[in-house]
Chains A and B, each alone.
Chain A
């Protein structure tokens, strides 16, 4: 169970300003159903050019609903210039804090507000630019840089908590680590990746795999194989016995020998045949 503050609970159980303003002056939509949370924010300006009304519709967890509710309360009575200064940390603080893993809910509120203000100002709703870093959640390097800078994030985990990047398959963790170090100007520890094998280790493992797995299988059909050379992850082999004259030897080489070596030694190996 999450440790929510009383204020989060209050804004979740009794959300303020739920709904949609017809003919709004500002409207911002962020998130998606697939990603698990989404927010639609609308506001109306009064004659004094201050936000006179704001409403939200949110799909998401308790902290997403509470962050949206808090946001609408915070922006009422503000000029757009004042509202534009609200940060995600302001939203979290208004609620007495959010669990670290839920900070992305406050970021979603801030993003919706930015879009709503842009809508009013007639600016085209910002297209995502920059390089997509997290493909699972469609997060760009620009969004990650901004979060790292504004909220002083230090680790990949922090970035996931704030903007979700890296929360899916995890393939982008290294890239996120690089971005953090670029922004912060020093190297960052990313999740340790398995140490790469040295060439000597690879050759040893290839020999072992050939002897243990591959040769016995080929010998059953009267064939054999020998390791000739190893260079830049290419394994040069020579086929012997019936294999050397077999019409299917190329299939054997790719679909069996190479697959086995990739599986048991290293996924970046390529097998190449040396002619007799």
Chain B
């Protein structure tokens, strides 16, 4: 069965070279890096090398890298560490389109008494910078804004945001889980204080992530325990996956330099092909500032889960911002924050590519999608003989 995998913002295939690098740390080199004997010490050295590799990917220094279990742990650690280090400030800022790892934590903190500002985005998914500047106060402890959005691929002006934070002495964290490995991320050029990244988005396994903490940034550990990670994250190291993240970082560094341009061309081919062949289809998100691998397309008057399951019949794997796919009854908070109309939000499909994708695969999708869309539209009461139908049901009866 040939899978066409265009859901790489959800997770990625582990690179075979990564698996190969990891395997000895399950089979032969199973020592504990904290042990006194050389058998464990060798493992400790391997972790140091992985730390250098991850640091190199974002141009950090190795001792600024803390290994974690996932992107969510990195985000939680960064945010919790900052607010507990700055207890007298009670205002925190984020955007309305963050990943749940940040969004839900901020909502939790709002209930705990923090004053939380969610910066809105415009119809293109771009951040409202005027609003952002207007809400920076002396009481602001932390700004956490994603580098790139997982659903639309829109890249935020993180340089400018960081400068604004630096100028005012506000701690800046960025969830760069989607940006790292796809576009250049350089913490010397972009002076962020904290940065989260995740292994399984860059062809390393699930269960490993990293948090960059700039030297001099106030920090309190989230997982309190042993002296691992210089006391900044307790718990025995998940050695093999850390080695995997190191190897994946080396490969990602190379890909960002040379490989992503090809991915961008494939994405553009797919996007143009679909938009030109399907009427009432539109791209969501600012195409002038976007990850090279992502396109989010709304097919109006039909529903995303149905589209995905029809695609599933052809072994095409993508994802949707529709309500039905999330188990909630509302479409994605990202598309709603952008003000995408309901005719389009329910039928949004995200294609996210990797360097494993081929031109043939894109052409296959371009060939197969129009009949799927057509078939579902012929079933839809909102579609009639090749165009949107005039029907009483289109009215926005529910003001969600």
Q: Which residues does A use to contact B, with CB under 8 Å?
A: 2, 12-13, 15, 18, 29, 31-40, 57-62, 64-65, 101, 135-138, 160, 164, 167-168, 194, 263-264
CA gap between A139 and B382 in the complex, in Å? 22
Residues of A within 8 A of B343 (CB): 33
CB proximity to A under 8 Å, residues B317-356: 322-325, 327-331, 342-343, 346
CA gap between A61 and B326 in the complex, in Å? 12
The answer to whether B378 touches A35, judged by C-beta atoms less than 8 angstroms apart, is no
With A60-B324, A62-B309 already in contact, the answer to whether A35 and B382 are too (CB < 8 A) is no
The answer to whether B306 touches A62, judged by C-beta atoms less than 8 angstroms apart, is yes
The answer to whether A263 touches B324, judged by C-beta atoms less than 8 angstroms apart, is no
Question: Does B386 reach chain A (CB closer than 8 Å)?
Answer: no
Residues of B within 8 A of A37 (CB): 303, 324
A-B contact count (CB 8 A): 107
CA gap between A263 and B313 in the complex, in Å? 52
CB distance from A8 to the nearest CB of B (A): 10
Residues of B within 8 A of A194 (CB): 111
Residues of A within 8 A of B305 (CB): 2, 61-62
Residues of B within 8 A of A15 (CB): 379
Tell me which of A40, A62, A65, A135 contacts B393 (CB under 8 A).
A40
Residues of B within 8 A of A18 (CB): 378-379
Tell me which of B111, B309, B327, B395 contacts A32 (CB under 8 A).
B395
Q: Beyond A137-B400, A168-B400: 17 further Cβ-contacts under 8 Å?
A: A12-B309, A13-B313, A32-B394, A33-B343, A33-B396, A36-B323, A36-B324, A36-B331, A37-B303, A57-B381, A58-B380, A60-B324, A62-B305, A62-B309, A101-B327, A167-B330, A168-B329
Q: Which residues does B use to contact A, with CB under 8 Å?
A: 111, 113, 115, 301-303, 305-306, 309-310, 313, 322-325, 327-331, 342-343, 346, 378-382, 391-400
The answer to whether B346 touches A36, judged by C-beta atoms less than 8 angstroms apart, is yes
Residues of B within 8 A of A263 (CB): 115
With A18-B378, A33-B382, A59-B302 already in contact, the answer to whether A167 and B328 are too (CB < 8 A) is yes
Residue among A35, A58, A168 having the largest count of chain B Cβ atoms under 10 Å: A35
CB distance from B330 to the nearest CB of A (A): 6
With A40-B391, A164-B329 already in contact, the answer to whether A59 and B382 are too (CB < 8 A) is yes
Residues of A within 8 A of B342 (CB): 33-34, 36
The answer to whether B303 touches A57, judged by C-beta atoms less than 8 angstroms apart, is no
With A12-B309, A36-B323, A168-B330 already in contact, the answer to whether A29 and B393 are too (CB < 8 A) is yes
Residues of A within 8 A of B324 (CB): 36-37, 60-61, 64
Q: Which residue of B lies closest to A38 (CB)?
A: B393
The answer to whether B303 touches A35, judged by C-beta atoms less than 8 angstroms apart, is no
CA gap between A101 and B325 in the complex, in Å? 11
Residues of B within 8 A of A13 (CB): 310, 313
CB distance from B325 to the nearest CB of A (A): 8
**Can you give 25 A-B contacts (C-beta < 8 A)?**
A12-B306, A12-B309, A29-B391, A31-B393, A32-B394, A32-B397, A33-B393, A34-B342, A35-B329, A35-B397, A57-B379, A59-B380, A59-B381, A59-B393, A61-B322, A64-B303, A136-B398, A136-B400, A137-B398, A138-B397, A167-B328, A168-B329, A168-B398, A168-B400, A264-B113
